[in-house]
A and B are shown apart, each in its own frame.
Chain A
Amino acid sequence: MHPWVGAGPDDRRHILSELGLQSIDELFATIPAEVCVDRLDLPDARDEESVRRTMAQMAISNLSMDCAPSFLGAGVYRHVQPAVVDAVLSRAEFFTSYTPYQPEISQGTLQVIFEFQTLISHLTGLPVANASLYDGATALVEAVLFAHRVLRGKRDLVVVAETVHPMYRRVLDTYTEAAGIEVVLVPPGNDGRLDPDRVRKAAGDTACCVAIQSPNFLGIVEDLPVLAEAAHEGAALAVQVVTEAVSLGLLAGGGAFGFDAVCGEAQSFGVAPGFGGPHLGIFACTEKHIRQMPGRLAGETVDEDGNRAFCLTLSTREQHIRRAKATSNICTNQGLMALAATVWLESVGGNGLRELATSCLARAQELKKRVGAIGGGWRLAYPESPIFNEFLLTGPGAGVELVERLAAKGVLAGVPSNRWGGSWPDGILVAATERNSAEDIDALVTAIKDLS
């Protein structure tokens, strides 16, 4: 017997007799004996207290970002978490329900998706946003494959800025290899930014897309209008990757500058860092290309009485219907995470988001100023280049080493910038958010000074 198995021993006997069977084994007679096992080599069932203890033990064996002043970024950011977000996520009506294929009893989920699509559309500046993708890395993959499809598979070259998150690029490589697409990297200039001429040259007239990240992996804001133009000259699609979604509260999304698609990661909108997942991929594009867009889509319509209602639409692009001709491998969205982002954004509000983003900007500027003034082997790698909330700091040693030494001083200083290589100095990517108080900033500065 177990609390999560609805029929007890008497229930089973009763049902078996109704079915005219002696033993439950008879229902498994079609399984050949040679693949059967008597018992799994696992421990017995355990009570709640015991399981909680085991899991809690694992949890406290980690040094989470709550435990020390933390400046970690590189694609995953620690932002405020309004209590309301988790309260809504904990509603069984939202988290235990399935994909809203029966719209008559899923209007809650569907309306949330519609609101999410609207918010992402307005933030990215593009009219069509989907119901979310797995994460930022796979969103980049989907954007590249999207561009490939839009150009009808006639162009097999993709230009990607080296300052797109290196981990995203590694994931992209796995897929482009399978799809027979070639990736050409464009390194950043001495200022950490892309040179549009180099982009133009790399794309020629054979690239189906140019993918750039802004703010980029080094935290630097790229010149979006100029880069969109560079891509379009060769008739390639311009794709912007965003890893710090809060930046969209202050910086206009690529749609405002002619980008054909904006993709990336919206973990900053109320999704826990959670050791890397689940996170929240986003994708938005122009109306012209809507039929090539991957992922789910909720649309507004009416019911038979003329009441407004929502339903999933354009499903024929998806795998369960298109089968071999599907637009992508994505069969799901990150429903609950999209809900989290919607609650987060609607709590924080339009003006609130701008205030929050400005707070991040201000704290990063303060931090930059103060660590930049320390000297003694510590230098900002790109002091003049514009940033949103993250920058590259170099010091007397490799980034990995510096991070460990600063941790020993009680500060989680950031992410080593070269753990996946890269043509930029080896140091620490330091990020600041609205959660980094003046005290936090003091702590980091003091820790750095202590090391020198």
Chain B
Amino acid sequence: MSVPNDLLYCRSHEWIRSDGDAIVVGITHYAQDQLGEVVFVELPEVGAGVDADEELGTLESVKAVSEFLAPVAGEVLEVNERLEDEPNLVNDDPYGSGWLVKMSGAAEGDDFLDAEGYQAFLEQENG
């Protein structure tokens, strides 16, 4: 399972990358593997405000729907419009071109795991 070192992670399987005053959010390799092939991504409206741990959007596979959550409170600045025609990017390149949302905020505090921490968390979950 790929877990890049330069990112932070949530226990709900989102990853976070800092981008100036904003953060970019996506789902991890593990998460896309669990979900199966993504057929549709529902993204929030640009300008929408969200609270921490609130649903940011959903990812649909053929048989299931999964929410992805906002790691922090903030405003949606940009969404990955490529996903409308190429939802498979979430599976093929979850940390790169499969990014989901860019929002205002910073990933601070103890709620987030670094790469090692997330690895350990995954091992624990699948004990």
Contact = CB atoms under 8 A, between A and B. Distances in A.
Q: Do chains A and B touch in the complex (CB under 8 A)?
A: yes
Interface of A: 291, 315-316, 321-322, 325
Interface residues of B, dominant DSSP: strand
A291 B39 CA distance: 12
B85 to A, nearest CB: 14
A301 B42 CA distance: 23
B40 A321 contact: no
B40 A315 contact: no
9 closest A-B pairs (Cβ-Cβ)?
A316-B60, A316-B65, A322-B65, A321-B65, A321-B64, A321-B63, A316-B64, A315-B62, A291-B40
Interface in B47-74: 60-65
Interface residues of A, dominant DSSP: helix
Interface of B: 40, 42, 60-65
Nearest to B45: A152
Given A315-B63, A316-B60, A321-B65, 13 more contacts: A291-B40, A291-B42, A315-B62, A316-B40, A316-B61, A316-B62, A316-B63, A316-B64, A316-B65, A321-B63, A321-B64, A322-B65, A325-B65
A316 B66 CA distance: 10
Contacts of B63: 315-316, 321
Contacts of A325: 65
Contacts of B40: 291, 316
Contacts of A322: 65
Most buried by A among B63, B64, B65: B65
B100 to A, nearest CB: 17
Contacts of B64: 316, 321
Contacts of B61: 316
B70 to A, nearest CB: 17
A323 to B, nearest CB: 9
A322 B63 CA distance: 10
